[in-house]
Amino acid sequence: MYKIIKKERLNPTVTLMEIEASAVAEKAEPGQFIILRVDEKGERIPLTVADFDRDKGTVTIIFQIVGATTKKLDCKEEGEYICDFVGPLGVASHTEGLKKVAVVGGGVGCAIAYPIAKKLHNNGCEVHSVVGFRNKDLVILESEFDKVSDKLCLMTDDGSCGEKGLVTDALKKLIDSGEKYDEVITIGPLIMMKFVCALTKEYGIKTVVSMNPIMIDGTGMCGGCRLSVGGETKFACVDGPDFDGHLVDFDEAMERSNMYKEFERKRYEEECNLFKKEVN
């Protein structure tokens, strides 16, 4: 059992939890993920390591409430326990030797982008962070990004916070102003990463994406997280989650990610109804 040390609501649908898991914290690196079960009858879900503290023996996860399991997890409070917390899994993000990087995050994907920006900053790399959200109420980790970024561009679709526009608008503006990056690292919705990669391909800038398809076992055995990368089949859980964004078949990935939307919504509604009955 793994104790919830801290719980913080970052916005109406996104929650941060700090979990006591010393063995995971000892080995975790930015870009890796864990798989958890809320209880013994729960499903296994992957969540990216948003931060870790080796001294305290804790791992931070940030999740969006989108399905039954994330709803059940969100009902847990500080001092309570979750059943399983396995990791770290996946290949850590490559950060060594990079001198200047643009980190582009969108929505809850910023929870994955932040530890990478932090590691790059700690390595002495010049970090330009571009983060985007639909509106000001959904902004997360702004102060955290500000501390580890030499430049921070905050974008919102409606202009209610930061500048109005898309992350691609800000990135293009930076590149056109003369900024030269060793690499662009982008993490967020598939459609956002697709267009970031289309932009950077025009400029010949190496771009790495973090892919987070549906996963079951986290060992490559189930095949649920398969992707087409450069015409080859890859498994996000063991080959990734980071891949060359210019080689990823985003259209296929988006089609696969939409296969379970209706089922996820139904299970979420069932979990909400069950929770309401328990409360009453």
The pLDDT value given to residue 221: 79
Looking at the domain assignment, is residue 119 inside a domain? yes
Q: Is 165 exposed, middle or buried (0-12, 13-18, 19+ CB in 10 A)?
A: middle
77 and 147 share one domain: no
Q: Is residue 269 part of a domain?
A: no
Q: Is residue 83 part of a domain?
A: yes
127 shares a domain with 30:
no
CATH number at residue 80: 2.40.30.10
Residue 4 has pLDDT above 70, yes or no: yes
Q: Which of the pair, 43 or 3, is modelled with greater confidence?
A: 3
The pLDDT score that the predictor gives to residue 217 is 75
Residues 253 and 162 in one domain: yes
Same domain, 117 and 235: yes
| AA letter at 141 | L
- Do 31 and 108 belong to one domain? no
Q: How confident is the model at residue 163 (pLDDT cuts 50, 70, 90)?
A: very high
Give domain status of residue 234, yes or no.
yes
Residue 54 belongs to what domain range?
Answer: 2-89
Among the candidates 89, 109, 143, a domain finishes at 89
The burial class, CB within 10 Å (0-12 / 13-18 / 19+), for 138 is buried
pLDDT per position as a tens digit, 56-68:
999 999 999 888 8
Q: How many domains does the chain have?
A: 2
- Evaluate whether residue 224 is within a structural domain: yes
Q: List Cβ neighbours of 136 (8 Å cut-off, separation of 6 or more).
A: 156, 160, 161
pTM: 0.86
CATH code of the domain containing 169: 3.40.50.80
pLDDT band at 2 (very low <50, low <70, confident <90, very high): very high
C-alpha span between 208 and 262 (Å, rounded): 30
Residues 183 and 138 placed together within one structural domain of the fold: yes
Whether 135 and 204 share a structural domain: yes
Neighbours of 198 (CB within 10 A): 14
User: Is 265 inside any structural domain?
Assistant: no
Most confident of 66-80, 116-130, 222-236: 116-130
- By percentage, how much of the chain surpasses pLDDT 90? 72
Q: Is the same domain home to 43 and 131?
A: no
Per-residue pLDDT, 225? 83
Distance between CA atoms of residues 153 and 146, nearest Å: 9
- Measured CA to CA, the distance from residue 202 to residue 204 in angstroms comes to 6
Name, in order, each residue with C-beta under 8 angstroms of 181's C-beta and a sequence gap of 6 or more.
Answer: 100, 101, 102, 128, 175, 205
Residue 175 resides in a domain = yes
Residue 223: its pLDDT value, please?
80
Tens-digit pLDDT profile for residues 130-158: 999 999 999 999 999 999 999 999 999 99
For 242-277, what is each residue's pLDDT tens digit?
Answer: 999 999 999 999 888 776 666 666 665 665 555 555
pLDDT tens-place string over residues 69-103: 899 999 999 999 999 999 899 999 999 999 999 99
Q: Are residues 233 and 108 in the same domain?
A: yes
CA distance 213 to 165: 27
Integer Cα distance of 128 and 173 in angstroms: 12
Query: Do 57 and 27 form a contact (C-beta atoms < 8 A)?
Result: no
* pLDDT recorded at residue 263: 62
Mean pLDDT value across the chain: 90
Of the ranges 19-28, 193-202, 260-269, which one carries the lowest mean pLDDT score? Answer: 260-269
Q: Is residue 185 assigned to a domain?
A: yes
Q: State residue 271's pLDDT score.
A: 57
| 82 contact partners, CB below 8 Å, separation of at least 6 | 1, 2, 4, 19, 36, 37, 38, 39, 73, 76
Same domain, 10 and 61: yes
| Element containing residue 210 per DSSP (H, E) | strand 207-210
Residue 14 and residue 129 in one domain: no
The closest of 245, 241, 257 to 116, measured between CA atoms, is 241
Residues 114 and 79 in one domain: no
Quote the pLDDT of residue 143.
94
